[in-house]
Amino acid sequence: MITVTDLHKSFGTNEVLKGISNKVDEQEVVCIIGASGSGKSTFLRCLNLLEEVTAGHILIDGEDLTDPKVNINQLRSQVGMVFQHFNLFPHKTVLENITLGPIKVKKESKADAEKHAHELLEKVGLSDKAYAYPSSLSGGQKQRVAISRALAMTPKVMLFDEPTSALDPELVGEVLAVMKDLANEGMTMVVVTHEMSFAKEVGDRVLFIDEGVVHEEGPPEKIFDNPQSERLKTFLGKVL
């Protein structure tokens, strides 16, 4: 599904990603953990070119994102993304937030898009909020709308950038539950997270990114119960 080869990313002279190669298979849930500043969010943002790649290649379904000829809007519409700070459109209702992409990018009719949006809202338990504005929602509700907005594009893969980090502790559960459902339905997911229990429970594979490289990777049992490197042991010691 996603193949990353020797990915490098620099901001000016500061090299944040120092050569990452990895693969994400179809229906796989990959969780990325690491300290802040390790490059894990930057890595995720490279996967839909929110960050311009300095060197290396990213293939999604065989199409190379780094190829200047590639239609980036077309590719992005197939890669859903959920942000730490939700980034809902405050001037649009929940329904309009969700239908904007399908109507403008996929050229769906308004009726079709709205029907799909209502289904998605029902799925995330927010059918009563279709006509509300984002400012009237709680953080957990906002993030569930943001997930619906991404899903409305029927993406092949979903990227999550610390989706629960900005939430009050009691609201984390409702968002993780939606993500868990999604994983069970077979969605391919890449999740940057600080929720170790989620990574353990839902993740098929965990990547530990440190200083711009994948320092250690493996199934969650191995990463959490039997870490090999000192760095990972220190990191887990701090967060668990």
Partner 1 sequence: MEYIIGVIPDLIQGIKLTFLITIVGVLIGFVIGTFVGIGRLANNKFISWICIIYIEIIRGTPILVQILFIYFGVSDLFSINLDKLTASIIAIAINAGAYVAEIVRGGIQSIDKGQTEAGRTLGLSHVQTMRYIVWPQAFKRIIPPLGNQFIISLKDTSLFSVIAVNDLLYMGKAYAASTFSYFEPYLMVGVFYLIITIPSSIILRIVERRLDV
Which residues inside 160-219 make contact with partner 1, applying CB under 8 A?
none
- Going by the DSSP 8-state scheme, the letter that residue 167 receives in this structure is S
In the bound state with partner 1, the residue whose beta carbon lies nearer, of 54 and 87, is 87
1 binds partner 1 (CB under 8 A): no
**Sheet holding 29-33: strands in order across?**
79-82, 157-161, 188-192, 29-33, 205-210, 213-218
91 by DSSP, 3-state: which? coil
Whole-number Å distance between alpha carbons of 45 and 167: 21
Whole-number Å distance between alpha carbons of 170 and 186: 27
State the minimum distance, in angstroms, from the CB of residue 53 to partner 1: 15
Whole-number Å distance between alpha carbons of 23 and 14: 25
110 binds partner 1 (CB under 8 A): no
Per CB under 8 A, which region of 4-12, 102-110, 183-191, 194-202 contacts partner 1? 102-110
| Axis-axis angle for helices 169-184, 139-151 (nearest 10) | 20
134 binds partner 1 (CB under 8 A): no
Note whether 138 and 169 are within 8 A (CB): no
Per CB under 8 A, which region of 53-61, 84-92, 169-177, 194-202 contacts partner 1? 84-92
Of the candidate residues 10, 23, 36, 89, the single one contacting partner 1 (CB under 8 A): 89
Of the candidate residues 23, 105, 122, 219, the single one contacting partner 1 (CB under 8 A): 105
Which residues contact partner 1 (rule: CB under 8 A)? Answer: 48, 50, 73-81, 83, 85, 87-91, 100-101, 104-106, 149-150, 153
